[in-house]
Structure 1
Amino acid sequence: MGIDPVYSDPARPNQNGRHERMHRDLKAACAKPSSFDLKAQQHSLNSFVKEYNHIRTHESLEVRTPADCHDFSNRPYPEKIPKYDYLSTMKVMKVCQNEAIRWKSYYWVYLTAALKGKYIGAEDQGNGI
């Protein structure tokens, strides 16, 4: 699909400072303290999103709001991702409900919630990799 995930360690501002800063602001606005019930909490989250994206300017965006800078993609996103044909050298496995695969019948390897129920291809590269 041309979407590349960004891998960084959680709570490491030196790796992904903008994202960590957004989470800090979100916690300050909505989680400390949290609301009494789910409806109030959702209202608090919606207010934060509106302010963060449409009202508050960001220095990193040359004093503009994210909504001013965001361009919506015109690429179509399919409702269902087509099946992928893996190489014959790969072992095709289904990702379990626990978001992991069983490797060599006794190791559980966690992957991601995004792949739950999907098939993935793995290739033994030798030396345990």
Structure 2
Amino acid sequence: MEKRSFGEMLTDLRVEAGLSLRAFCKEIGFDAGNWSKIEREVAKPPAEPEFYDKVQGILKFSDEIKAYLTSKAKAIRIVPQELQDSELMEHMPAMLRKANGENLNKEEADKIVEWIRSSVNDEGIIKDE
């Protein structure tokens, strides 16, 4: 499968099916403005597999592509475990001040960059644990 972002893949599938944004949204019962945000990756997509069954029925793509879209949609919606840790979140403002240049040494900056890199995949989507 060609490497494309989630939004690019959705857009390409819709265009390949010969559907305008509005025509597609009318068929799936989705607001065109909101769907446009999903395709541009400004808004998070629905994560329910049933939704992608409906999209597959309209755009006529393979089960492999449906599985990919469904898993990516779920991954996009996952909050990293670190952000669910209330104790860690108490220290977030101080960490962000440091990251903004206040008393941040090279070692600390490298640790922050490494944590971010280890938390996302090649497409910038938060990894499943």
Q: Which category describes the TM-score, using the shorter chain as reference length?
A: under 0.3
TM-score, normalised by the number of residues in structure 1: 0.26
**TM-score computed with the length of structure 2 as normaliser:** 0.26
Please state which structure has a larger fraction of its residues in strand.
Answer: 1
Q: Which has the larger helix fraction?
A: 2
Instruction: Answer with 1 or 2: which has the greater Rg.
Output: 1
